[in-house]
Structure 1
Amino acid sequence: MIGSSDNNGVELPVWSVSQLNQRARQLLEGQLARVAVVGEVSNVRVVGGHAYFSLKDDRAQVAAVLFSREVELLGFDLVAGLKVLATGRVTVFQPRGTFQIVLDTLEVCGTGALQTAFEELKRKLDAEGLFATSRKRPLPPLPRRVGVITSPTGAVIRDIVQVATRRFPGARMLVLPVRVQGAEAAPMIARAIGKASHWSKELGLDVLIVARGGGSIEDLWAFNDEKVARAIAASQIPVVSAVGHETDFTIADFVADVRAPTPSVAAELVFPEQAELVARLRRLAVRIERSVGRDIQRDRHRLRAAGNALGDGRALIAVQSQRLDFAIEALRRSAQTTTAARRLKLEKIGTRLAHLHPRVRLGQLRGCIQAIGERVELLAVKQIEWRRHRLAGVAGRLNALSPLGVLERGYSIVLGPDGKALCETAGVKAGDRLDIRLARGRLGAVVDGIETEE
């Protein structure tokens, strides 16, 4: 170790990188020793049985490692989003100078905020039926063109193109570039899925691959967005979700028609192996050729057997020709008989139709109408005459009962001073003026005397 001075002239020790990391490790392990930390698990990687991950809160994070022996003793799966109580020792990983906690115990004490949001959205969409197996559509066996929604740069698109062209050299793809991380990622991904679905027929798209590489739950969060999930569910063509590594699960994986553990596997699922297709076609051609050959051979044997069973065909033709002559003669006689019968029937129908001709029928109806008119006229005359005699009788009876008729016989009606007809002398006194009504005319009189009959 060599020396050096600072601005104040104080001599400082000069360390090598290894010495600095070793000293830092000694200080940390000496000062902190064992610690207990509460945090949310993120960015889990398992290598050689050892689990490497981060513990974080809303302001910071720290690297953590759990060696294979402790991993085997865990009673739960170590996944991103878990809120845990971790116990271990603080140290520095000298080769990299990484500050980390080497854990010996790990207890679950809840879920983190992102994991809680993930579970809530998962339950909501599952209740709506977006994860139902009945909605899943099969992938086309030989897609015309495949849409790939991912970042235009990076290993993901290169892996997909490499696998696709290796398996099917004539593969056709349309890359729809989007952001796969950050605040703008989810809206871009949802729009890209919607456009690809809407224009799928015009673009010749048969299937979509939505992909990105691995990362923490924060890195993959765009694929846990509700808009992205609903865009996948509404797609008119099948969607393959290839997000993260095999251990990573997103909402997009549950909604998609097919979930691929990696983008490379997605390409293998979508694009068939051309050599395998060719081999299968050749096998089918051989099977068809053999099947057709067997059918031809079988039919040849059947034809030969039928020929042997028939014997000399000329005798059979002669017999059938004679039967045909008899049948023709019988048909001719039947036709003549049928024709004669139908002619007679037509003549009868013609006679009936002649009687039913409109001109004949019209004359008949005209005669009926004339007769009915004469009868109606006669009945009307008789009815009028009868009603006239009846009216005269009624008039005579009415005339006999009418006061006017009584007056015609010499009687009169005497009206008192009050204008009412008098039937007796009561109420009349001498000097009263009376009105006498005759059959024709009226007389005025004054009472000069009254005689009362007992």
Structure 2
Amino acid sequence: MQPENVLSVTQLTREIREVLQGHIGTVWVEGEISNHRLQGSGHQYFTLKDAGSQLSCVMFRGAARSGVRLGDGVQVMVQGDISVYEPRGQYQMVVKQVQMKGQGGLQAKFEALKRKLYEEGFFDQEHKQSIPKYPRVVALVTSPTGAAIQDMLNILTRRAPWIHVLIFPVRVQGQGVEKETIRALEMLNAAAQHGLPVPDTIVIGRGGGSIEDLWAYNEETLARAIFASRIPIISAVGHEIDFTIADFVADLRAPTPSAAAELLAPDVTELKRHFDALSRRLTGQLTVQLDQHEKVLDFMRRGGLRTEPVRQLQSAEQEVDEAEYRLKDAVREQLRARMDEVSERQQVIAAHHPQVMLTEITHRLENQGQHLRQSLSHRLARLEDRVSSRADVLKNLGPESILARGFSYTTDVQGKVIKSAEEIRAGDLLVTRLQQGVVKSIAQP
């Protein structure tokens, strides 16, 4: 017995997909990433697992803008829709958003403020101040006891001992970090009023840490204070992989505090080579100038201008005339060469003029059309000969030729040819076809 309502594999798979999508919808799932694979298309495929289960996931290129770097072993929270990949009949999550586990709220707050300040133009390059190449006074806004300040001081004193370093101590972690940093920026921008050296640039720095440790540098109040500073600011917060709002607003972002110090302090050896090169170039220029003046003085000592000024002037005028003649001759030669070049290019242009090329193409098309017509005519003639020959064969071998020789054939009323007497039953109507006419008969028992 044939069962009713039999589904194909595709139909069943689609119904399962509709059930999953309709009853589960969009959900958040947390777990550890494994088997991560980034395709050339920009799509990312990975497995989200915990101690008991695993879930196949796909994040298409258009959704991969969360800023979270996916990789094996990363603990994440993902948001997406549960669906079914029909070719394999495998259920999976289509991921739309990714957050680091435990940092979702802070990351969302970070992205919101970043988007807000970007729209207000805080990150525009036109607002960035240039950092002095050879600063004389540098202010370090950082912890006086941290490793960051030691690294910066070591580099500055070794590479550029002439730089005056002004340390403004602030907390770099915990409550009130942003307030102390804002106060430091206000004081440094008014350094002259407080009897302090005016910094050429300010470095806000600290070592790396978690997003919670660095969160003070993501506060909007600090971002606005950095933007308002009249003194160029370098943000050197965290390690190379750490990014804060302060980095985007500052005039320059250094990947580490040490890198910021290296940017401000040119190497002494490099400067010495630079000054030596300048000294050699200046000495050479002075030597040339002195030689020229010595020649003039020597000429003056020989008394040429004093004793025979007219002859000296006439000789100089003659040299000028000769130079003028050579110049005119050179100009004429250049003009002839340019005219020859223009003539050659005109000939090339004339040969490639659209009208000339159109005429050539028209002739070529006419020749090709004539050749095509001849080929088609020959082809049709050959086909007509073949058709005529085969028509003669069909005429000789066809039913009419056979009937003309005295043969006939019998069919039933439906036109089926009777080949054996066993196919006929008593009372059947038979139709016998002759060359001329048809004979109908009824089969007898």
Larger radius of gyration: 1
TM range (shorter): 0.3 to 0.5
Question: What's the TM-score once normalised by structure 1's chain length?
Answer: 0.47
Question: What's the TM-score once normalised by structure 2's chain length?
Answer: 0.48
